[in-house]
A = this chain, B = another copy of it.
């Protein structure tokens, strides 16, 4: 094995361990509520994209509608998420967080923000930008444009009535 490849393997492992611990704080919180990681992902992306369509969510999460359906139903029944008909297209069921859902989303994202802030402390803004760029380029090339738009955030202040 070349030295360069060895360095890459080290990065592979770092990413594995970083991700393992990165999801561990939310996992604990969720477990107490009887929820799992699947609920987290829905809460997160609905919170970040109020009014997101079901089909968009499916594409982001790369799961089937049947998988989504079960978990989404639980979140609706527990009053964390609600749906509204699309105005332009009434077949759509746009997704929003309730105040309760927003509260949970906040609780879940807080430790993750803290973890990144701690990880960044001591690094300059150039280091942060470098890391951001590398993470971005780990994403499939054909999906980067989508992700860039998603991350930029679209209807940040969507009116929910």
**Chain A contact residues, CB within 8 Å of chain B:** 4-6, 8-22, 24, 41, 48, 62, 109, 112-113, 115-120, 123, 126-128, 130-140, 143, 147, 150-151, 153
Contact = CB atoms under 8 A, between A and B. Distances in A.
Given A10-B151, A19-B19, A134 B109 contact: no
B118 A137 contact: yes
Contact of A15 (B19, B109, B137): B19
Contact of A133 (B16, B116, B123): B123
Chain A interface main SS type: helix
A135 B11 contact: yes
B135 A21 contact: no
A139 B12 contact: no
